[in-house]
Chains A and B, each alone.
Chain A
Amino acid sequence: MATIAAPVAQRGLLARPTEPTGLWSWLTTVDAKRIGILYGTSAFIFFLIGGLEALMMRSQLAVPNNTLVAPGTFNALFTMHGTTMIFLVVMPMGAAFFNYIVPLQLGARDVAFPRLNAFSYWVFLAGAVLMHLAFVVQTVPDMGWFAYANLTERAFSPNNAVDFWIIGLQVLGVASLAAGFNFLVTIINLRAPGMSLMRLPLFCWTTMITSILMVLAFPVITVALIQLMFDRLFGTNFFNTAANADPILWQHLFWVFAHPEVYILILPAMGIVSEVLPVFSGKPLFGYPFMVYAVASIAFLSFTVWAHHMFVTGLGPVATSFFAASTMLIAVPTGIKIFNWLSTAYGGALRLNTAALMAFGFVGMFTIGGLSGIMHASPPVDTQQHDTYFIVAHFHYVLFGGSMFGLMAGIYYWFPKVTGRLLDEAIGKVHFWLMFIGFNVTFGPMHFLGIDGMPRRIYTYPTGMGWDLWNLVATIGAFTIALSVLAFMVNAFKSLRSGEIAGPDPWDGRTLEWSVSSPPPHYNFAEIPVAAGRDAFWLQKYPTSGGHGTAVAAAHGDGSGHNAEHGEHVHVHLPDPSYWPLAAGGAIFLAGLGVLFYLPLIPVGLFLVIVSVVAWSLEPVNG
């Protein structure tokens, strides 16, 4: 049996914290499960904020010539709404599941770099808070989530609203890069014995590919943000048209990052759906290897399509044709996934509880968004659709209908694992149907608005344009979604207090996280499991059902250096908590404040970052 090494109290300057509970234990935690919970709750709070911003926008647009919200405020609303939803909701929600679920699915005790993991979270929080400080000083970024140069230059955006966005995103980028490296290495190196890559749960695959995309896409936005920041702070000329700079450069850099970014937003949800559908269909995932190839090829293709956001900037016919073709190509691997999900359910014994409904909702709604994506992929057609509500409809179908529905499926699916209690199914159904109907009532009509020529990012519109009805309908839909969110909150609170006890495996799950108690012990696995094939836990439960790979092969290990026989006398070493990830995050926050308010703070902050990193590397490795 395993013995757990109790944290040894140390003395000295760099002693590591030891509190097992209480505030400090959360602030200094390096436990991926706790970090996952931190990510998840933060993301949900930002979802409420971003949603509130959306409700304000929808209220303003409900009727023509409305004056509820001033023009500048409206611009701030959609900028912060878009930025928040993408960077502070969907990404961290994904990170929450990476942290909580991936080590469990891999059969690992933690991630590869636990302190780096804590660092990611604190830096994420620092970036999010830096950006939202804009509300405190009332210079809220108001140039749209893609911040096209040269509107963002000092000459056209003189106050420092844009700086909040730049510095917030820059800091968030650091967090994403750190998380990306960490999860990539974790999945490559911390798999349980027998868990070859082709036996990885699909959610781990999408996490790995997402990490690769983060690692390769974020440096590009880092560079773009540095350039913009230098233009604004030091008067360089990257986007200064007065010095004959070309503002289109920003668009290329931004979309080189942001197209992979949209797959960063959808792939975790696709991974979740690929876990949920098999479980509730009572069947293994259909066409597993093809799913893997599809995810991998999406990663490749996503770096070759960026200019489809720029079809009306005058790329010239040759480049336009190239990007149109590469964009359309992405429909092929995505289609493979849709059809495999359908085939997974086909012939199954469907249990349509809330998690499954959310996952099926994903399949249905994402397809709609994907198909409108194909319409924009045809440049001549896009000249009529670009920057209209047709685009707004497209990306909400993929982002809400896709990512959010997928993440919601994940929440219903894994909530019992995280809390030990089931969410209420009756309220869950109410949540699903309100959300599903509200979602379609909100964003469905936006297709018509776009077809009728309503541009996006307009704070109001005159009567007589034929837009009145559908705008009102969309607003009603938005408030329906808000109701559904309230239903979810009720459900979560109720279940936390008095929900039905879940037990380790409430869904008859297939992957290793269901093999441990709910919530799992601090150390995840007393004994590192051995994966006998795909759906490792399923094979443990039902050894005769036959999976891919055989128990015999697994018992001999996979010859990868992992020594399964050593599992007999495990002495579980878990990393001790640490102050330094938090300290480093705080130091970065300070440097960010410097950029915004008082430049001399920048070197102070950077110096403290170095101090923290040195202390980090010198603090005693847990004994």
Chain B
Amino acid sequence: MTEFAAAAPAHAPVVEETSTGLNTRKVLMWTFLGSECMFFGSLIGTYLVYRGRYLPGQLIPKDVFEIPYTSVSAFALLMSSLAMVLALAAIQRGDIKRLKIWLLVTAALGLIFLGGQVYEFTSFGAQGLNPNVSTFGTSFFVLTGFHGAHVSMGVIWLLSLFMLAARGQLNQARSLDVEIAGLYWHFVDIVWIIIFTVVYLIPV
């Protein structure tokens, strides 16, 4: 009568030899994502505390944000999530060729997003907004910067998976490796969904 005898893991071909039947690394990843919610929650909370708290003469969001531009990179990240699930579906079918393609597409979309962020940061900097000028600058750059760092980690992770796949070391039985990376990647994407709305779209 265990509570957690219920479901087998989503995609693992064999049931794990654990009390819940769930893969240990996957449990770890989900607890990690719960923890990450608190990490980004604190950063977003900080941004919101300082939202609207601007001194006369300071640059405010309206002055610097370019919504069309950011929409495009937000879109790129969103689509990378699609590529990610397609990569997972591919490896679960045993289709290593498609796996490699979709992993590369995911990483590429991630890189496009990062490129957009680099451009945005430089352009804001040129207009005089940086982490040292105001609470807006500080909380904005640190929030989006840490998100960017997460995306970079994800890109590195995806590329390592690609290398493994290229060397023939990823196969259907190891689809969990891709699934776990995917969980991380989608999480980074949904954080951006929130940041995009809360930081960029909702006007002050």
A residues less than 8 Å from B2 (CB atoms):
196-197, 558-560
A220 in contact with B46 (CB, 8 Å):
no
Shortest CB distance B147–A (Å): 13
Q: Is B42 an interface residue (CB 8 A)?
A: yes
A188 in contact with B132 (CB, 8 Å):
no
Q: Is B36 an interface residue (CB 8 A)?
A: yes
Question: What separation, in Å, do the CA atoms of A222 and B46 have in the docked complex?
Answer: 13
Q: Is A235 an interface residue (CB 8 A)?
A: yes
Chain A interface residue bracket vs B: 35 or more
Q: Which of A197, A215, A219 has the most CB of B within 10 A?
A: A219
Shortest CB distance A186–B (Å): 9
Select which of B20, B131, B142 is within 8 A of A188 by beta carbon.
B20
A residues less than 8 Å from B31 (CB atoms):
181, 184-185, 215
Question: What separation, in Å, do the CA atoms of A287 and B46 have in the docked complex?
Answer: 42
Select which of B1, B15, B45 is within 8 A of A196 by beta carbon.
B1
**Provided the pairs A197-B2, A238-B135 are in contact, do residues A561 and B16 lie with their beta carbons within 8 angstroms?**
yes
Question: What separation, in Å, do the CA atoms of A615 and B10 have in the docked complex?
Answer: 30
Q: Is B194 an interface residue (CB 8 A)?
A: no
B22 in contact with A181 (CB, 8 Å):
no
A residues less than 8 Å from B69 (CB atoms):
none
Select which of B5, B50, B55, B142 is within 8 A of A559 by beta carbon.
B5
Identify the closest chain A residue to B132 (Cβ).
A235
B138 in contact with A237 (CB, 8 Å):
yes
Question: What separation, in Å, do the CA atoms of A17 and B131 have in the docked complex?
Answer: 47
B42 in contact with A560 (CB, 8 Å):
no
B19 in contact with A177 (CB, 8 Å):
no
A558 in contact with B1 (CB, 8 Å):
yes
**Provided the pairs A112-B28, A188-B27 are in contact, do residues A560 and B135 lie with their beta carbons within 8 angstroms?**
no
Question: What separation, in Å, do the CA atoms of A224 and B41 have in the docked complex?
Answer: 12
Which residues of B3-54 have CB atoms within 8 Å of chain A's CB atoms?
A: 3-5, 8, 15-22, 24, 27-28, 31-32, 34-36, 38-39, 41-43, 45-46, 49-50, 53
Shortest CB distance A554–B (Å): 11
B19 in contact with A190 (CB, 8 Å):
yes
B residues less than 8 Å from A318 (CB atoms):
none
Which residues of A529-557 have CB atoms within 8 Å of chain B's CB atoms?
A: 553
B residues less than 8 Å from A559 (CB atoms):
2, 5
Question: What separation, in Å, do the CA atoms of A542 and B136 have in the docked complex?
Answer: 67
Further 17 A-B residue pairs, CB within 8 A, beyond A184-B27, A188-B22, A562-B18: A112-B28, A181-B35, A190-B18, A215-B31, A219-B35, A219-B36, A222-B39, A227-B142, A235-B131, A236-B131, A243-B135, A245-B50, A246-B53, A253-B46, A560-B2, A561-B18, A561-B21
In order of increasing CB-CB distance, the 10 nearest A-B pairs are A219-B39, A223-B42, A561-B21, A189-B18, A191-B19, A219-B38, A236-B138, A237-B138, A196-B2, A558-B2
A–B pairs, 18, beta carbons within 8 Å: A113-B28, A177-B35, A181-B28, A181-B35, A184-B31, A188-B27, A189-B20, A197-B4, A218-B35, A223-B42, A227-B142, A237-B135, A253-B45, A558-B2, A560-B18, A561-B5, A561-B15, A561-B20
